[in-house]
Structure formats: C-alpha cells, structure tokens
Amino acid sequence: MNARRLLIDAGNSSLKWALVEAGQWQARGRVDYADGATLKAQMRPGTECFVASVTAPEREKQLAALLDEAGMKSVWLTAESGFGEVTNTYQNPGQLGVDRWMGLIGARQRTRAPVLVVSVGTAMTVDAMSGEGTFLGGVIVPGPELMRLSLKQGTARVNGLGGEWKTFPKNTADGVQSGIVAALCGVVRQQYEFLAEFETVRPKCLLTGGAAELILPHLSMPAEGVPLLVLEGMACVARERDT
C-alpha cells in the first residue's frame, strides 16, 4: 500500500483535497485556485497524487506544473465504463464528468440502496443510481451563482445580492434567493420521484458540493450532506490500485 497519498478534487471554482496516510485520512481542506499555499504544504517528493479535474485546461496545467515541481507522481482520473459494482451507462462513458463518476463510486461505498447523488456547485448535477449500482443518468442545471448572474445580466433592475430564503418574499433580493432555492429543490425532487418510481422503493439522497447547504434544509425528502463524497470515491479508486 502506498504510505502517503494526496487526493485533489479540482472543481470549477475551487480545489478540495485530502491527505491519506496508511489508509487513514490525516488532513483535508478547500482552497481557491489563487491560494495554493495550503495545498502546496502537503506536497512532498514520492507522494502519489490522484486528481479528478473538471476545471479549465489552463488551471490543470498550473496544477500539473505544481505537482511536477514537488516531485510527485500524479494520476489524473477519468470516468470509465465501470468500477467495482458501479456501471457507467453514459452513451460515451468517458464524457461523464470525472467528479460525477467519483461521486457515484463514493455513494456506492455508503449504500446499496437506490441513490440520488446531488452535487451543488457552479453547476448542479443530479445523478440517479439503481440499487444494482447502475448509473441511470443525470441532469445538469446552472448552480446558484450562475442563476444569480443570469438574472443580473438579463434584467435591468433585478439584483439578488444579500437575499434570504422566505416562503413569501417581499423584496427583490429575497425573491431571487428564494427562487433559486425553489428551482434547485424542484429539480432534485423531480429526479427523486422518477428514481423512486423506477425502483419502487424510496431512494437515498446524498448532497455534496460547495453550495449544498443552501438547499439541504429545504428539500422535501430525507437527504444527507456528504461534503467529501468525490474524495471518498477517489480514495476507493486509489485503494483498488494497490490490490
């Protein structure tokens, strides 16, 4: 077994990372791309690094250069047609976002029940997996900040900054915030109902991503926040390489 391993989930807006030594999670964190000092402090020659990236190519190049400078062996993960009990049924399996794929693998380690995996970040993805571990498909919608930005850019007098969720909003900012929450929750609820009907049992619902806490309290079904779900999937894939 590799004694020291760094896992990096490179998202559109930030990096999540975890340090695993001898199979134990020792440290973890979240950093902006402009602030790599914390992450760089974890980099040592000989440490194996696994990266799951959906960020822009220029950021990937910067990260790769940072890893090379530190003398680290890096493995850049991609979605595959299958891993363990999880089957990828995307028309082109490699086109599935690697973060979504790792999230599904992480979810399978947590439950054998049908599960809806919701990642709320720059975009929100809602992926359904059967009780047999088959990825059934998923939807992609703009995340909270993209929704807010589209309103700001597309309207003359709608500014949603500083709003709060309200059942019946009485100002524009609250109206924007409450509308965003309602829209995202509606997508999750619809996909949850589709999965429940397909499986004939009530599925699990796991939420991850930087903005998951925005909608978690407002969902109509039981749901669990799992902030490190993608990293959990990556850790599982990394362990498999040692067997």
Catalytic residues: 99
**The pairing of beta strand 4-10 with beta strand 82-83:** unpaired
Q: Residue 21 belongs to what H/E stretch?
A: strand 14-21
- What are the backbone angles phi and psi of residue 148, rounded to the nearest 5°? -60, -45
Q: How far is CA 140 from CA 41, 89, 207, in A?
A: 34, 16, 14
Q: How many Å apart are CA 143 and CA 123, to the nearest integer?
A: 4
CB 39 within 8 A of CB 17: yes
Distance of CA 41 to the CA centre of its chain: 24
Structure tokens at 151: 């309103």
Nearest C-alpha neighbor of 111 from the set 89, 86, 136, 81: 86
Nearest C-alpha neighbor of 210 from the set 63, 36, 29, 78: 29
